Each structure stands twice: as structure tokens, then as C-alpha cells.
């Protein structure tokens, strides 16, 4: 036993000796070799040029302005006369620079361990630098480097689509080596969604340096991979026209124009903001103005605005009824202006206080009869309604190539129990059937679901057409509907825009192409039961007025485009949102989107803002 113990101690001793010998003679050699190499070799990264963003016709929506950054040699003490002289020279040359800020930035980044020049000026425009460059370049304490600055030529017109870049934070720097070097990152819109592509890949130079960090030989150079551009499906001229149309009518709202295959031609959220304010860091004054504006210009309303869909949900609701209970759409309903449930005296009213009489599916869509949908919903139930509506793209993300898209809500019994710990009531089924209650959708969801009704294909909306030279592939899921019911719904939508009595007849009847659609008036406040005759929308306080919807597709026989418009607190969809949609169709027609344009129309503007 003693012999084995001695042998074990002997083996342990020599095992430790061998391990130590390996560490000192071999492993440490690699470490010190690397340390020595780092002392004689310097690796400098070459920043890639951020890719540009263009519209459908090649117009630049996001570009790079050429300029220069200014850095100061490290290791100066804070009150070193040489440092102060350099800073004073920069202020004399460029009077807009702030001496205090430059010294503060220098102090923050200066360290005995930092051998890199410290950037104190992010960007000087090319023309300003040209006259000063010969003088400044003579100083070895100043380093001038080529720099680019993001610029958005169309400003607020496409801000919610394109987004903006801004200064990166520590968290963003730690996640991405390119961001860490460049110091800028996409913060919103396409700039954020496609940031990894737009930013490109770093290049680098490896040089041999002296003890004083002076480069004496170039050992290796790898150029950056940059100029990874993106072309959009968006027509910026259409985008501008719609924006100016909202501005002229002083309305707050959203308009989405989409091909029925999912390509987004325009998506306007009005009012908007100037993304150029954020590129170099927005001021507190400008940020406060954006935050305090009750119209919420910073909010991207077509994917972040959630609204009750009102009567625009009725086509989808009818299809949900048909899938939820076979044969439920075969019978008509009698509308006397309201219904009651059980022994309750509470009246669920139709928008027409006199009622519509006997109503079938097509007429229910044309005249937007609420009672028809009340009665059908009670036969089908909320769970089947919600399940099918979500499969039609309502209350779920569309998958559009923009960040942080909202889902909205299409409620059912389980949802209410999770959210409020309460049971579902029959009256809630009734109001959900006309797009009220808990129902919340985004305008882009409504546009997508309208394309589904027009084509039976649930598409994924796409903003980008080409990404780094590669065409994006449209995605679509075919959904089978009963052909008869779908035909009746489409005919009802045709009637809305083209037959007297249709809720959008006045604004949509004289268009150069046949349009099918549905209006919606989604209430934001409830109407007390003792109110027999409701006040007109323009008699209500602004924030008590209903949201005005219209969603359409055209041409009726061969659907190519969807136009969805929402006017916040606009009252009735037909009279407020309808004229905007009509102007969009006239513009599309004149620009040849529906085919050859008659000569007499090609040069006219028909009083539509360009």
C-alpha cells in the first residue's frame, strides 16, 4: 500500500513538471510571439460605404454625402498648449465647431493605451474642407479622413419606409464589428431591417510599424465589400402625391397602394418627420416637438397604427361565416334597425335607424347592413370567426420587410380570458362582427386582406424589389373559398363603388377604371342607448369622431392594384377617405399603370396634386 502511494506522488510530481514545461516552452511562446507581432504590426480596418436606396425608377431615397472627419493625435494632456492650439486652429477654420465639445470628446477617448487618433469632428462637407485641407494636413497632430454622411433627398415623403441611421450605442457596437468601426447603424425602417446588407463588410490593412507606431511597410490589404444597394417597389412620385393630398386636405391618416402580388407602390403615414434630423443626432428641441405633436408624426401608422376596422371587415367576416358554418350565408336576414339579445332591452343598432328590410349577402355588403352581420355572428360564434379572420391576415403580422410590425387583435374567448380574466359575452360577438369592440388591425393588414378577396391569394407585402442585385420573390398562399359566396361578395364591393345606394358611389363612380371596394366608419366612442338620433360626425369633438376607412381593388374584372385609405377621426369612409382613394386611382391611370393612357388625359392633372 505504501509503495503505491509513493508511486502516485511520484507520477503527480512529474505530471505537474511536464505540464509546466509545456506551458513555459510552447504555449507561452505562442502568446509572446503574438504579443511581439502586435507590437510590430498594425491592423487598421477600412470602413465600407453604406449602400444606397432607390425607388422603382432609380430615384435616390437614401444616399451618401462625401466629406471628411477630423481626428487629433492621442496622448496630449487636457491643458496641453499643443492640444489647445490644434483645437483653436480647427475653430478658426470652421467657425461652426464647438471648442468645448471637441475637448470633451478628446478627454473621454484619450488614454495611455490608445494609439489611435481621436475623432473630434464627425463630418465636414467636401466644399468646406477643400480650401482648408492644405493648411491642416501640414500638422502631424491632425488627421483628416474621407467620410460619408447619410442623406435623405425626399425627407419626410418616405421617412416611414426608408427610416434613418443614427449613432450606434455600446450594445449595437458589441453585436456588429462593422457598426463598431463605422459608429452608425440603421435605427428604423428599411435602414434597420436591411442594415446587415446595407452596411457591407469591413476591409483592412496590415502594416509594419516602428516603436513610435509609424507605418513603414504594407503587409496585407483586403478591400471592403460595400455599395450593397437596395431598389424598392415604391414609386416616390406617387408617394409624394399622396402625402401632398393629405396635407392639402389637412387630414391625418394612412394610404397604402399595393399590387395584388404584394409589391408596395406607396405607403404614406401622414404627418411625417424629416429623417435627416436624426443622422447626426437630433436636438432635444426637435425631439420634444415630435413627441408632443398629437398627430404622432413619428409613428409609422401603416404598420404601427392599430385601429378598429369597422365595416371593412365585413367581407372577411362573411367568408369566415361560410367556413365556420356550412350554409349560413344561404339565407337572408331581416333588418328593422336593431336587434336585442334574450330578455335584455339593450339595442344593437344598425347604422340605418329605419333598417334595411330583407337583406341578402350582396346587398349587405353594398349597403353595409349591420343587422345582417349581427345575426350571422350569433349562429357561427366568436371562436370560428376569429380563427378564420386570422387565416385571412387580420390580427396577425403581414411579414412585410419593415421592423417591429404590430399584430393588432382579432379576439376570441381564450384571448379575453388571458387578457382580462373574464368570460366572453354574446354582445361582444355581435359588435366584433362589424369590426368594433376589441378588434384592432393595421392599414397594411387591411390592404393585404383586400388583395386576398380580389385574388384568393394571401400575399406577403414587399417594399424592396432588389436587394444587393437580387430580385425578391413574391410569396403567396392560395386560400380556397366557396366560388358563389366569393362572387357575391365581390359583386357587393362592385356595387359599393358603382351602383346608386353604394356607400362609396358618389366618390368612386366616375373613375376611368371600374373599382370594387368597401367603406368603413369605425367608432372610437360608444353611443348611449338613450340617444335616438346620433350627432353628425362634424358636430362631434375631433377626437370623438369615427375613423374613416375605404379599401378597394381595381380593375374589377382583372385585379392589379389595391388602394386602402384611413383618415383618423375623418367621419364617414365614403365621403372622407373615398376622395383620396379616387385621386390615387386617377393618378395611377394617367401614369399608365393600367395600360395605355388616352392622349387627351396623358397631359392633364385633373386637379390632383402632383
Domain boundaries along the sequence of the chain: 38-59+153-232, 66-148, 236-287+296-602
The pLDDT of 561-565, averaged and rounded, is: 98
Cell numbers standing for residue 447: 390592404
Query: Is residue 29 over pLDDT 60?
Result: no
- Contact partners, residue 523, CB within 8 Å, separation at least 6: 308, 310, 436, 546
Provide DSSP, 47-103: PPPPPPEE-TTS-EEEEEEEEEEEEE-S---TT-HHHHHHHHHHHHHSTTS-HHHHH
The CATH architecture of the domain made up of 38-59+153-232 is: Alpha-Beta Complex (3.90)
- CB atoms closer than 10 angstroms to residue 312: 31
Identical topology for domains 38-59+153-232 and 236-287+296-602: no
Quick one: which of 325, 308, 561, 556 has its CA closest to 438?
A: 308
Q: What is the CA radius of gyration of the chain?
A: 32
Cell numbers standing for residue 155: 425627407
Residues 55, 165: Cα–Cα separation, whole Å: 18
Cell numbers standing for residue 13: 510530481
For the chain, the straight-line distance linking the first and the last C-alpha, in angstroms and rounded, comes to 101
Query: Is residue 326 over pLDDT 80?
Result: yes
- CB atoms closer than 10 angstroms to residue 162: 25
Given pLDDT bands bounded at 50, 70 and 90, which one contains residue 14? Answer: confident
Q: Confirm if 560 and 541 have CB atoms less than 8 A apart.
A: no
What pLDDT is attached to residue 538? 59
Given pLDDT bands bounded at 50, 70 and 90, which one contains residue 351? Answer: confident
Q: Confirm if 297 and 318 have CB atoms less than 8 A apart.
A: no
Given pLDDT bands bounded at 50, 70 and 90, which one contains residue 256? Answer: very high
The SS3 of residue 437 is coil
The SS3 of residue 524 is coil
Cis bond before residue 454 (omega within 30° of 0)? no
pLDDT tens sequence across 165-200 = 998 888 999 999 999 988 899 999 999 999 999 999
The answer to whether 311 is a known catalytic residue is yes
The pLDDT of 330-336, averaged and rounded, is: 94
- Contact partners, residue 13, CB within 8 Å, separation at least 6: none
The pLDDT of 443-470, averaged and rounded, is: 97
71, 188, 269, 311: the catalytic one is: 311
Helices 443-455 and 483-498: crossing angle in degrees, nearest 10, is 120
Query: Is residue 112 over pLDDT 50?
Result: yes
Residues 328, 325: Cα–Cα separation, whole Å: 6
The pLDDT of 47-71, averaged and rounded, is: 94
Q: Confirm if 182 and 173 have CB atoms less than 8 A apart.
A: no
Query: Is residue 378 over pLDDT 90?
Result: yes
Q: Confirm if 378 and 430 have CB atoms less than 8 A apart.
A: yes
The SS3 of residue 243 is helix
Quick one: which of 254, 256, 305 has its CA closest to 450?
A: 256
Query: Is residue 305 over pLDDT 70?
Result: yes
Strands 470-471 and 253-259: unpaired
What pLDDT is attached to residue 20? 73
Helix then strand then coil, in percent of the chain rounded to 5, is 40, 20, 35
Query: Is residue 159 over pLDDT 60?
Result: yes
Q: Confirm if 450 and 552 have CB atoms less than 8 A apart.
A: yes
Query: Is residue 471 over pLDDT 80?
Result: yes
Quote the pTM value: 0.86
In b/e form, how buried is each residue of 7-33, taking b as 16+ CB within 10 angstroms? eeeeeeeeeeeeeeeeeeeeeeeeeee
Quick one: which of 435, 411, 465, 458 has its CA closest to 546?
A: 435
The pLDDT of 334-353, averaged and rounded, is: 90
Q: Confirm if 77 and 254 have CB atoms less than 8 A apart.
A: no
Provide DSSP, 252-310: -EEEEEEETTSBEEEEEEES---THHHHT---HHHHHHHHH-TT-TTS-HHHH--B--G
Cell numbers standing for residue 585: 386611382
Q: Determine the Cα angle at 291 with ends 285 and 292, to 5°.
A: 85
Strands 457-459 and 215-222: unpaired
Per this entry, what is the length of the chain? 610
Percent of the chain at pLDDT above 70? 89
In b/e form, how buried is each residue of 202-232, taking b as 16+ CB within 10 angstroms? bbebebeeeeeeeeeeeeeeeebebebbbbb
Query: Is residue 380 over pLDDT 50?
Result: yes
What pLDDT is attached to residue 608? 34
What pLDDT is attached to residue 35? 47
Residues 136, 68: Cα–Cα separation, whole Å: 12
351 or 35: which carries more pLDDT confidence?
Answer: 351
Q: Confirm if 385 and 321 have CB atoms less than 8 A apart.
A: yes
Residues 188, 580: Cα–Cα separation, whole Å: 27
What pLDDT is attached to residue 39? 59
Cell numbers standing for residue 330: 344561404
Query: Is residue 16 over pLDDT 90?
Result: no
Query: Is residue 277 over pLDDT 70?
Result: yes
The pLDDT of 226-241, averaged and rounded, is: 96
Cell numbers standing for residue 476: 403567396
CATH topology of domain 236-287+296-602: Beta-lactamase (3.40.710)
The pLDDT of 387-392, averaged and rounded, is: 97
Cell numbers standing for residue 63: 444616399
What is the maximum alpha-carbon separation in the chain? 113
Which residues does residue 521 pair with via DSSP β-bridges, in sequence order? 548
Quick one: which of 542, 359, 565 has its CA closest to 350?
A: 359
- The dihedral through the CA atoms of 584, 588, 594, 600 has a sign that is positive
The pLDDT of 477-504, averaged and rounded, is: 96
Weakest-pLDDT range from 145-149, 235-239, 434-438, 506-510: 145-149
Q: pLDDT averaged over the chain?
A: 89
Amino acid at each position: 500500500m505504501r509503495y503505491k502511494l509513493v508511486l502516485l506522488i511520484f507520477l503527480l510530481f512529474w505530471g505537474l513538471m511536464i505540464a509546466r514545461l509545456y506551458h513555459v516552452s510552447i504555449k507561452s511562446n505562442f502568446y509572446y510571439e503574438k504579443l511581439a507581432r502586435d507590437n510590430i504590426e498594425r491592423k487598421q480596418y477600412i470602413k465600407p460605404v453604406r449602400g444606397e436606396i432607390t425607388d422603382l425608377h432609380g430615384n435616390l431615397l437614401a444616399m451618401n454625402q462625401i466629406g471628411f472627419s477630423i481626428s487629433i493625435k492621442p496622448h496630449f494632456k487636457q491643458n496641453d498648449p499643443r492640444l489647445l492650439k490644434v483645437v483653436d486652429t480647427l475653430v478658426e477654420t470652421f467657425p461652426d465647431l464647438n471648442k468645448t465639445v471637441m475637448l470633451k470628446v478628446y478627454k473621454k477617448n484619450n488614454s495611455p493605451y490608445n494609439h489611435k487618433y481621436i475623432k473630434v469632428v464627425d463630418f465636414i462637407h467636401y466644399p468646406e474642407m477643400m480650401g482648408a485641407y492644405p493648411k491642416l494636413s501640414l500638422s502631424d497632430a491632425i488627421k483628416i479622413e474621407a467620410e460619408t454622411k447619410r442623406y435623405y433627398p425626399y425627407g419626410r415623403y418616405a421617412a416611414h419606409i426608408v427610416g434613418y441611421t443614427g449613432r450606434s450605442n455600446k450594445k449595437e457596437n458589441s453585436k456588429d464589428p462593422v457598426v463598431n468601426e463605422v459608429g452608425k447603424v440603421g435605427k428604423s425602417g428599411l435602414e434597420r431591417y436591411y442594415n446587415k446588407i446595407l452596411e457591407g463588410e469591413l476591409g483592412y490593412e496590415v502594416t509594419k510599424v516602428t516603436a513610435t507606431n509609424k507605418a513603414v511597410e504594407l503587409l496585407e490589404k483586403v478591400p471592403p465589400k460595400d455599395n450593397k444597394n437596395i431598389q424598392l417597389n415604391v414609386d416616390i412620385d406617387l408617394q409624394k402625391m399622396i402625402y401632398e393630398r393629405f396635407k392639402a386636405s389637412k387630414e391625418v391618416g394612412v394610404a397604402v397602394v399595393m399590387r395584388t402580388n404584394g409589391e408596395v407602390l406607396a405607403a404614406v403615414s401622414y404627418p411625417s418627420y424629416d429623417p435627416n434630423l436624426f443622422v447626426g443626432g437630433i436636438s432635444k428641441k426637435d425631439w420634444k416637438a415630435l413627441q408632443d405633436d398629437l398627430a404622432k408624426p413619428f409613428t409609422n401608422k401603416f404598420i404601427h397604427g392599430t385601429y378598429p376596422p369597422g365595416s371593412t371587415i365585413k367581407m372577411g367576416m362573411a367568408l369566415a361565416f361560410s367556413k365556420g358554418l356550412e350554409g349560413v350565408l344561404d339565407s337572408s336576414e331581416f333588418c328593422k334597425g336593431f336587434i336585442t339579445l334574450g330578455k335584455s332591452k339593450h339595442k344593437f343598432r344598425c347604422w340605418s335607424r329605419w333598417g334595411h328590410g330583407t337583406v341578402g349577402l350582396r346587398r349587405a355588403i353594398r349597403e353595409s347592413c349591420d343587422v345582417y352581420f349581427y345575426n350571422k355572428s350569433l349562429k357561427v360564434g366568436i371562436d370560428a370567426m376569429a380563427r378564420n379572420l386570422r387565416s385571412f391576415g387580420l390580427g396577425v403580422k403581414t411579414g412585410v420587410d419593415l421592423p417591429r410590425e404590430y399584430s393588432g387583435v382579432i379576439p376570441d374567448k381564450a384571448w379575453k380570458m388571458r387578457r382580462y380574466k373574464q368570460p366572453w359575452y354574446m354582445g361582444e360577438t355581435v359588435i366584433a362582427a362589424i369590426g368594433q369592440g376589441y378588434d384592432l388591425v393595421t392599414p397594411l393588414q387591411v390592404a393585404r386582406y383586400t388583395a386576398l378577396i380580389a385574388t384568393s391569394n394571401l400575399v406577403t407585402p414587399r417594399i424592396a424589389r432588389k436587394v444587393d442585385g437580387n430580385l425578391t420573390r413574391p410569396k403567396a398562399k392560395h386560400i380556397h373559398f366557396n366560388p358563389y359566396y366569393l362572387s357575391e361578395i365581390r359583386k357587393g364591393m362592385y356595387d359599393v363603388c358603382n351602383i346608386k345606394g353604394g356607400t362609396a358611389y358618389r366618390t368612386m363612380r366616375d373613375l376611368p377604371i371600374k373599382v370594387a371596394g368597401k367603406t368603413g366608419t369605425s367608432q372610437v366612442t360608444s353611443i348611449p342607448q338613450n340617444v335616438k338620433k346620433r350627432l353628425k360626425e362634424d358636430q362631434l369633438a375631433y377626437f370623438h369622431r369615427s375613423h374613416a376607412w375605404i379599401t378597394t381593388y381595381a380593375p374589377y374584372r382583372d385585379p392589379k392594384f389595391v388602394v386602402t385609405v384611413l383618415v383618423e377621426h375623418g367621419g364617414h369612409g365614403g365621403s372622407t377617405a373615398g376622395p383620396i382613394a379616387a385621386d390615387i386611382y386617377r393618378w395611377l391611370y394617367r401614369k399608365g399603370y393600367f395600360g395605355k393612357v388616352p392622349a387627351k388625359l396623358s397631359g392633364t392633372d385633373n386637379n390632383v396634386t402632383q
